[in-house]
Structure 1
Amino acid sequence: MQQYIKSAIILVCIILTSCEDVIDVTVPTSAPRLVIEASLDWQKGTTGNNQTVKLSTSTPYFENTTNSAVTNATVTVTNENTGNVYNFVNENNGNYTINNFQPIIGNTYSLEIIYNNEIYTATEKMISVSPIKRVEQSLEGGFDDDVLDVSIFWDDPVDEENYYLLVFYEQGDIVATFEDFPDEFVNGNELDEFFEKERDDDDEFEEFNPGDVVEISLYGVSKQFDYYASLLIEQYDSAGDPFSTIPGKLKGNCVNITNPDNVPFGYFRLSEFDKVVYTFQ
């Protein structure tokens, strides 16, 4: 009898573990949209003449396509203050380049892209930025007093609304870390921001160590871009968190004037920036 009961239990377990329904999930897709990467950045101490606009199309999340470059568009940027028109050269790989662009702080520039018989436009000002005064490393500036961190310092202009984008990149990493920084509550002061990597007990090289090299860039950006960037960073940081809010569709400042329903992705930004490369001691 015991043997019979034991056999019955084994049989039930086999049946329960083998009854798996295959569920096909239909993932909604949409038509490809134009993706505009138009960040015209002017590093302090350079002419800013060499600029690149990157164009591609969006792809479904599970699509394996790695090359969605747009190679049949025309790209122009116009300085609305001077009337100068800059025609970007099609490199036939999704990049559109120019080597005689003239960045002028405070001037307004307009972008025009013609792609698939539709016209996309955007307008933005060239925003200045204060120089980075100094860089410091410490064990006390971050969240963990046992982990190295690095800080940059700069002066915020008095009686101005200023917005900053900071980019931290350790050489060898796949992606950089982005932070937005408005001066709403610290106007006119010396500002600083730190960069620290969390300690990983299983990987001693995850945190910063002597000899590591990090590149830190400080960009001046517009109020509109700061709002866009803060939402984008928030959505990226909360990815994978089941308790985070559902991400919304982010709209940049680029519009399709031919077909307003065919909204592009991306942003047209013009920024002066300062950059330092620091080696941990």
Structure 2
Amino acid sequence: MKNYIKLFLAVCTISVVSCEDVIDVDVQTDTLRLVVEASLDWEKGTTGNDQSITLRTSTPFFDTQSTDVIGAEVNVTNNSTGEVYPFTDQNNGTYTTTTFDPQIYVTYTLEIIYDGERFTAEDTLRPVPNIKEVYQDTEDGFDDETIELHIVFDDFQDEGDSYFFKFERPQDLLPTLEVGDDEFINGNEVDWWYEIDDDEDEEIKPLLPGDIVTINMHSISRPYYNYMDIVIDQLGGVGIFESTPVEVKGNCINTTDPENYAHGYFRVTQKNSVIYTVE
């Protein structure tokens, strides 16, 4: 028996030594693209003057170097008045301004000059309703034993309102994102509820007493609603009944070379924020 074990070990050793050849694997690389994180969010009740935009490049596979974009020229223009708001390069991929003037129903244009190319995008700022009430319950969700949160507000009389909600708990890796519109609720009081499903695989727990939830409610343009609707659908995974993942393009257009488009989105929103502690 001992001789058999020795022979087996010898064969294994020879096999391991003979498999030490270096194998070169070609890793597919995509075109490096500009990535634009330009969310000009105006908190209701503030001036909204302080805004920032982040620029980086997409990351190649196995690349650990910084992808911050430095040296770009970044401006936002009020299309109604022609006033230009320059964003100052902070030399870390962030560009900031302290003079932005948000105005309801005004369309703003973002312009980025980077690496000899010009990128533009535009979005329209729409008003957000006041949040009348936030409360918790267990009656309207999918599980009558799970706590859900309710956000109550009055939709405006004008048709075409769209909303973006972000719910965050400190213990969760990612926030929950949701979008909605007023197609069936126009001009009415809206009771928007939010529930977290128990997911043991992802170690996600439902809402429990003591949980602190930050709620951000944005009023958004219809193009941004369409964009986020696709993004949220893609984040839902690729189960048997899920949609096939596709590349989601934002609204940033390269006017110099349209084929070299940017990732990301330029949005201008008004928002309400509430911090709620579950009881």
TM-score bracket, shorter-length normalisation:
0.7 to 0.9
**Aligned partner of residue 223 in structure 2, secondary structure:** helix
- In structure 2, the CA distance between the partners of 1:254 and 1:101, relative to structure 1 (3 Å rule), is same
Partner of 1:65: 64
* 1:277 aligned onto 2:266: no
* Percent identity (aligned): 44
SS of the aligned residue for 1:35 comes to strand
Structure 1 residues 104 and 131, CA gap change in structure 2 (3 angstroms): same
For the aligned residues, what is the CA RMSD? 3.0
CA contact (8 A) 1:40 1:51 kept: yes
Structure 1 residues 177 and 24 mapped into 2: Cα distance closer, same or farther (>3 Å)? farther
Q: Tell me which moved more, 222-231 or 241-250.
A: 241-250
Structure 1 residues 106 and 91 mapped into 2: Cα distance closer, same or farther (>3 Å)? Answer: same
Q: Is the 8 A contact 1:147 1:199 kept in 2?
A: no
Contact 2:233 2:243 in 1 (8 A): no
SS at match of 1:109: strand
Between the aligned partners of 1:188 and 1:76, the Cα distance in structure 2 is: 36
Specify the SS of the correspondent of 1:166: strand
Mapping for residues 62-141 of structure 1, pairs under 5 Å: 62-65=61-64, 67-141=66-140
Q: Does 1:194 align with 2:193?
A: yes
Give me the TM-score of the superposition, normalised by structure 2.
0.87
Give 3-state SS (helix, strand or coil) of 2:55's partner: strand
1:197-246 deviation per Cα after TM superposition (whole angstroms, max 9, x unaligned): 2235799982222111001111011111111100011011124x366333
Question: Is the 8 Å Cα contact of residues 146 and 206 (structure 2) preserved in structure 1?
Answer: yes
CA contact (8 A) 1:79 1:109 kept: yes
User: Structure 1 residues 99 and 139, CA, compared in 2 at 3 Å: closer, same or farther?
Assistant: same
Give the letter aligned to residue 222 of structure 2: K
Q: How many residues align?
A: 269
Q: Which residue identity is paired with 1:213? A: I
Q: Distance in 1 between matches of 2:105 and 2:125?
A: 5
Find the counterpart in structure 2 of residue 258 from structure 1. Answer: 256
Change (3 A) 1:41 1:205: closer
Cα pair 2:159 2:183 within 8 Å, conserved: no
Match of 2:182 in 1: 183
CA distance 1:25–1:193, shift in 2 (3 Å): farther
Provide the C-alpha distance between the structure 1 equivalents of 2:202 and 2:222, rounded to a whole number of angstroms.
39
Whether 1:245 and 2:237 are equivalent positions in the alignment is no
Where in structure 2 are there 5+ consecutive unaligned residues?
Answer: 1-11
Say if 1:116 and 1:242 are closer, same or farther in 2 by CA, change over 3 A. Answer: farther
TM-score, normalising length from structure 1? 0.86
AA of the residue aligned to 2:249? K
- Counterpart secondary structure, 1:232: helix
Whole-Å separation in 2 of the counterparts to 1:202 and 1:26: 33
Letter aligned with residue 144 of structure 1: D
Aligned residues of 2:75 and 2:84 also touching (Cα < 8 A):
yes
